[in-house]
Amino acid sequence: MSRWQDSVTLKVQGPHEAEEDGHKEALLSQLQGAQKEIQSLKIDHDTPSDTEWGLMSDHFSDIQNLEMEAGFNEELNDKPIPAHWPIERLLVSSSCGEVFESPFVLEGRVKHLILLLTSGLRFEGPTSDELCRANEEAIERGEAKADYITVREGTPEERKIQITSISGLARNWMGQKYGNTDTAAEPETPVPEHVNTEILEILENDAIDTFTRMTLALPNLIGNLKTLNLRSSSGLDFHFTPKEMFREILPQLTNVKTFVFTVGDIFEEADFLPLFYEQFPPNISTLRFRGPFSLAKSEHWSKWLEAFANPEYLPNLKKLSFVLDLAYDNEEDGGRKRKPTVDELREGKAACKKLFDGLENRGIVIEPFHDKWADYSVSFDKVDERWEQID
């Protein structure tokens, strides 16, 4: 997955155990056996506490590849990432509902940023703690109502438990900032003199929603991208931003040369995906597309065939991967992702062949679709093994 072959993996305890006995010693014992010159570091089990970041900062000086697995607590304590590390590639996994604070992300200092199975991450605004504190103060002033659930056991007071929805508070914050049409919402992060981020990968959960939130907060970073990989096949998108906003953003990404897009039947409107061929970044030279076989059944599929056969459509396109092997239950059955039947795969394969046949005069190289992240994580399904066997 990366050019850094030698890597150290450290298991941290995280912020919740920062005051526990032995917190510092638990990491120091691991660092004793870790080479100081290592360039690749993987952090597992939790996000580091400030103390743990300080210990790693003192020990390592040349970390170029940093991978962070948030674990069960799903937190993100990224602000203390050592500023002197020359990080080129940053992978953040499993963090949810938090706001980025590190300049490595907000100022686009890393060349390659990966958000793997994250959810609800934000790139501007208050932290989760600040949102909760502001909500409590609003409740005390009578400006907001507390939400409660009732459990079965205990006294009446004990059975009534107050709950706070971080995603709801964050959504309200975004609505207040971007919902006012009378004033233009300016990004909070100052525009950096130079943006290094060229590769962005956001993989599953609310990937498209996250990308849109990132575009609103960090437009200069998004505008600098050369490679964009979005994977959204589980139907968990669009809780914060409307899908129409995503459709408007992509055609403006004129610097993107490689676009990898895995997308399922996740849109409420039946025509949204079948008409999406018009929204691809206009100057791409490589397109890797994986979608549902239902796209081939759409009344608009002929428009895809006509568009790809036209030399004026994506005129710089040189390499293409195109697979329609995803399948979903009907909405009345829950719309869940499922394994396609052989007939469905055959229908998708035939549709792709027609699309490829129309490219004969364009000199575009057809390549298999290989999802490297399906090799990395068992949470991702590979292209159906029957796909290549079907004529």
Task: Report the 3 state secondary structure along 52-115.
Answer: HHHHHHHHCCCCCEEEEECHHHCCCCCCCCCCCCCCCEEEEECCECCECCCHHHHCCCCCEEEE
Last residue of a domain, one of 178, 213, 236: 178
Question: For the segment 146-196, what is each residue's pLDDT rounded down to a tens digit?
Answer: 888 887 776 666 667 888 888 888 888 888 888 765 555 666 677 788 999
Quick check: is 335 in a domain?
Answer: yes
Quick check: is 312 in a domain?
Answer: yes
State the Cα–Cα distance between residues 201 and 227, nearest whole angstrom.
8
Lowest-pLDDT range, 207-211, 270-274, 347-351? 270-274
Q: Is 218 helix (H, G, I), strand (E, B) or coil?
A: coil
Question: For the segment 261-315, what is each residue's pLDDT rounded down to a tens digit?
Answer: 999 987 878 889 999 999 999 999 999 999 999 999 999 999 999 999 999 999 9
Question: Is the pLDDT assigned to residue 220 strictly greater than 80?
Answer: yes
pLDDT band at residue 49 under the 50/70/90 scheme: very high
Question: For the segment 229-269, what is each residue's pLDDT rounded down to a tens digit?
Answer: 999 998 778 778 888 999 999 999 999 999 999 999 878 78
280 and 390 belong to one structural domain: yes
270 and 374 belong to one structural domain: yes
277 and 382 belong to one structural domain: yes
* Chain mean pLDDT for the chain: 91
Quick check: is 85 in a domain?
Answer: no
Quick check: is 240 in a domain?
Answer: no
165 and 271 belong to one structural domain: no
Last residue of a domain, one of 147, 178, 209: 178
Quick check: is 329 in a domain?
Answer: yes
287 and 158 belong to one structural domain: no
262 and 382 belong to one structural domain: yes
State the Cα–Cα distance between residues 11 and 194, nearest whole angstrom.
34
**pLDDT value of residue 6:** 82
Query: How many structural domains are present in the chain?
Result: 2
165 and 265 belong to one structural domain: no
pTM of the model: 0.92
Q: Compute the average pLDDT of residues 357-384.
A: 92
Quick check: is 210 in a domain?
Answer: no
279 and 385 belong to one structural domain: yes
Quick check: is 195 in a domain?
Answer: no
Question: Is the pLDDT assigned to residue 380 strictly greater than 60?
Answer: yes
167 and 267 belong to one structural domain: no
Last residue of a domain, one of 117, 144, 178: 178
166 and 262 belong to one structural domain: no
Quick check: is 373 in a domain?
Answer: yes
Q: Is 26 helix (H, G, I), strand (E, B) or coil?
A: helix
277 and 150 belong to one structural domain: no
Q: Is 388 helix (H, G, I), strand (E, B) or coil?
A: helix
145 and 272 belong to one structural domain: no
pLDDT band at residue 329 under the 50/70/90 scheme: confident
Q: Could you count the other beta carbons within 10 Å of the beta carbon of residue 265?
A: 22
- Domain extent, residue 340, equals 257-391
Token digits of residue 82? 């050592």
**pLDDT value of residue 332:** 65
Question: Is the pLDDT assigned to residue 343 strictly greater than 60?
Answer: yes
Q: How far apart are the first and last CA of the chain?
A: 31
State the Cα–Cα distance between residues 308 and 291, nearest whole angstrom.
16
Residue 179 burial by Cβ neighbours in a 10 Å radius (0-12, 13-18, 19+): exposed
pLDDT band at residue 109 under the 50/70/90 scheme: very high
- Nearest 5 degrees, angle CA 225-CA 66-CA 214? 35
